[in-house]
Amino acid sequence: MTRIWTEKGGFAANDPYVIETEERQAGEGEIALLPLEDFLTKAAESNDANLAVVLKPADDVRRLEPFIGRIALVAVTFPAFNDGRGFSQAVWLREKVGFTGSLRAVGDVLLDLIPHMLRTGFDSLAITNPVAIARLEAGNLPGIAEHYQPSVKPAAAGAAYSWRRRG
């Protein structure tokens, strides 16, 4: 069972987004998370303003730029805990492309990765791991006390990085 956790609200009761499969299609009141190629086709053929896309690790996020203002949610797939390309996609979407909509991690979302996901710009997570679900339900979100690199999220009040560069 997949549970959607949001940084601001905890576990969501209802989530309208569906990653379509042969067995599961988006129904009434639901929004399909389309693979990149299907998304690009639909976005080019319509003026829909509430689109959603799911990215695989090898997908080029720059292809979303022409439609960035029409995307409500981007889901980034983590097929395995040791595949970190989703972190790079998240940073690229937030910093280079300027995506301000909802950014969701899907796939192998483990408890230890959550602080890193939040620092790189994810604001919701599709969690299937029972240990991660139980810990988040109990309010036990792991943290990282010290950071050596900048993040997409602003630093705490008063904290700054003199060596931080953007560009």
**Residue 14 sits in which domain range?**
3-137
Of 54-58, 91-95, 141-145, which gets the smallest average pLDDT? 141-145
CATH number of the domain enclosing 97: 3.40.50
The reported pTM is 0.84
Neighbours of 67 (CB within 10 A): 16
Asked if the structure places residue 13 within a domain, the reply is: yes
Asked if the structure places residue 157 within a domain, the reply is: no
* Percentage of the chain modeled with pLDDT above 70: 84
Asked if the structure places residue 145 within a domain, the reply is: no
SS3 at position 63: helix
Q: How far apart are CA 99 and CA 60, in angstroms?
A: 14
Identity of residue 158: G
More confident residue, 140 or 98: 98
Asked if the structure places residue 108 within a domain, the reply is: yes
Asked if the structure places residue 147 within a domain, the reply is: no
102-142: per-residue pLDDT in tens? Answer: 999 999 888 888 888 988 999 999 999 999 899 999 988 76
Q: What is the pLDDT averaged over residues 39-66?
A: 93
Q: How many domains does the chain contain in total?
A: 1
Whose tokens are 């990215």? That residue is 55
Asked if the structure places residue 152 within a domain, the reply is: no
Q: What is the pLDDT averaged over residues 84-89?
A: 93
Q: How far apart are CA 37 and CA 98, in angstroms?
A: 21
Rg (the chain; Cα; Å): 16
Nearest to 77 by CA among 49, 35, 116: 35
Strand 17-19 relative to strand 31-35, pairing? parallel
Predicted local distance difference test score (pLDDT) of residue 139: 84
Strand 3-6 relative to strand 10-11, pairing? antiparallel
Compute the mean pLDDT over every residue in the chain, rounded to the nearest whole number.
86
